[in-house]
Chain A
């Protein structure tokens, strides 16, 4: 394994194509100047970063497969392409004619415009490290409508490692694609991952990205994502948050094109002492743009969830529609949720709404259900199922929702059985 230092950076440069090297050099300079975020910084205020990136090293190879059943992949059925990024090293297992579905490490200068580098290096030390040390990932470029999903396993497995998986997607004018990202690591392994996911949508393009955050319980995942959306194009991003010790997702959507739209869904369940941190920025830049964020999550035991949502409507983004909703179910006394919706509106002809709620299971609902003969445990399970169902029923790839329902249900049943929920 290689520490995050100059010699490891030089090693990374040596495997990169020449045309990529200058911008990586700049990223390394940024990395050297940055330190771990100060907990007093607004961007990290609710999150306890109890680790130092410097203690983790870049793995020497792809390491071992994560030994967990391929539930999601099996549920998906026919795919347009399958790839694996493990410890930051990519393998393409299958693909479809006339799309680019390739290893980033193999990308030539002709692919230069497909690698967006949309997330700035100076966002934080994690982004800088990603740009400086990451060498591989998946490049997807689609120029026609494709209905079958692309499935990408993103794994990490080496103890003490930090890896930098990357997925860069471009969807051409009037093309469409659906991508499922399945993030996993072993439950008993302390490691860090810094994934970056970026996408650019041409005019009239459609892209669905479904992220299954199923990291192991000792993984710290600092995810960063940015999407730039063209005229009349639609982005749908869904995140299902189930795993990790700390999982953060910093997401920025730029609705640049007139008439573009965005639907962001989230459903999460924090258990034990997990922290699930969502930091979502929705930028309305073009006219007639619309966006919705809808996130629902539960926390039990000593888990913490954080949602910071920012809708920014630029001066010229007239006739914009923007809504954000975050609902939290607090299942134990020691669990907590922070929900901070923000609006920054510079245009005058807009329709905006936001709401956040947090609280325990509804005693009126419990009473109603118990009056139909359901014992309390059963009534609560049904109520919890309904809580998540509002999001799950809207997820883009319905073929994978059955296992998701099971996972959410199992988490709650376990917490019930172990007496951690009230």
Chain B
């Protein structure tokens, strides 16, 4: 059986700057994984490289439901089943959310099913009043994330990557977003959420947590990792990695 997202020895960067230094990651269908790591460790870069942002070079492989997406244009990756919820969703003046949704319908596999999802999710997420407003313009942090979640739900991807889905949100909004993600959990999708805070993990049950340091996933494990992090920050992990490398044992500590 294929897994939702399978990243294998992915290296990527900008010109001379290597940011991802060999990322390995597996997210099975039906699971929610969390990716954590300090600022600048490469989490957003991983999202963009998976989605195909063209300023980055990339080597290695990333399979989305069995399709190798590295090298594909962005829209083909989306149609292969990948969805990225942005850390900073852009504001697009003059383009109503409803217009974007109409364009998404044009490229949907089954427009009728798509319409049903739009109706259902607009109702569930209270999005109707945003349909005539320009995409993300003037929306609060929480509303932007809700709009991203709405688009995720109607796109019905095989793999959803949510970059900093909880940053800039108040406690209630964090819970709301977490519950939304849980409610979208499905045997047909794998989810990778990126977060700085274990707070959001109180409201959802990630199956696994991965820690990224300097462009590599250095540790993967169950929810207990978040608690460790909460207690001692990234320093302990950093020390363990340095020690392990000194031992000559290359690769991640698991």
Contacts and interface: CB of A to CB of B under 8 A. Distances in A.
A371 B90 contact: no
Contacts of B178: none
A388 B79 contact: no
A389 interface: yes
A389 B83 contact: no
Contacts of A383: 92, 95
B206 interface: no
A391 to B, nearest CB: 9
A374 B93 contact: no
B89 interface: yes
Given A370-B74, A375-B75, A378-B103, A364 B90 contact: yes
Interface in B76-99: 77-79, 83-84, 86, 89-90, 92-95, 99
Contacts of A368: 86, 89-90, 92
A-side binding surface: helix, strand, loop or mixed?
helix
Interface in B86-128: 86, 89-90, 92-95, 99-100, 103-104, 106-108
A186 B35 CA distance: 63
A58 B73 CA distance: 57
Contacts of B94: 385-390, 393
A379 B92 CA distance: 12
A385 B89 CA distance: 19
A76 interface: no
Interface string A98-110: 0000000000000
Contacts of A390: 93-94
Given A385-B94, A386-B95, A374 B75 contact: yes
A200 B204 CA distance: 67
Interface string A352-372: 000000000011110111111
A297 B97 CA distance: 23
Nearest to B152: A372
Given A372-B100, A382-B99, A386-B95, A365 B90 contact: yes
Interface residues of B, number: 28
Contacts of A387: 93-94
A363 B83 CA distance: 18
A392 to B, nearest CB: 8
B93 A386 contact: yes
A383 B91 CA distance: 11
A373 B104 CA distance: 6
A376 interface: yes
Interface in B50-81: 51, 53-54, 73-75, 77-79
Contacts of A375: 73, 75, 107
Contacts of B75: 370-371, 373-376, 379
Contact of A386 (B73, B107, B134): B134
B99 A378 contact: no
B73 A371 contact: no
A371 B74 contact: yes
A372 B104 contact: yes
Interface string A373-416: 11110110011011111100100000000000000000000000
Contact of B73 (A365, A369, A370): A370
Most chain-A CB neighbours within 10 Å: which of B77, B79, B100?
B100
Nearest to B51: A371
Interface string B138-152: 000000000000010
A291 to B, nearest CB: 22
Contact of B92 (A373, A386, A388): A386
Contacts of B92: 365, 368-369, 383, 386
B155 interface: yes
Contacts of A386: 92-95, 134
Nearest to A387: B94
Given A365-B90, A375-B107, A370 B95 contact: no
A124 B31 CA distance: 74
Most chain-A CB neighbours within 10 Å: which of B83, B90, B94?
B94
A378 B90 contact: no
Nearest to A393: B94
A369 B106 contact: no
A386 B74 CA distance: 21
B90 A373 contact: no
Contacts of B103: 369, 372, 374, 378, 382
Most chain-B CB neighbours within 10 Å: which of A368, A375, A393?
A368
Nearest to A362: B90
15 contacts: A365-B92, A367-B53, A367-B54, A367-B74, A368-B90, A371-B83, A372-B78, A372-B151, A373-B78, A374-B103, A378-B103, A386-B134, A387-B93, A389-B94, A390-B94
Interface of A: 362-365, 367-376, 378-379, 382-383, 385-390, 393
Please list the 3 inter-chain residue pairs (A to B) with the smallest Cβ-Cβ separation, ordered nearest first.
A386-B94, A389-B94, A386-B95
Interface of B: 51, 53-54, 73-75, 77-79, 83-84, 86, 89-90, 92-95, 99-100, 103-104, 106-108, 134, 151, 155
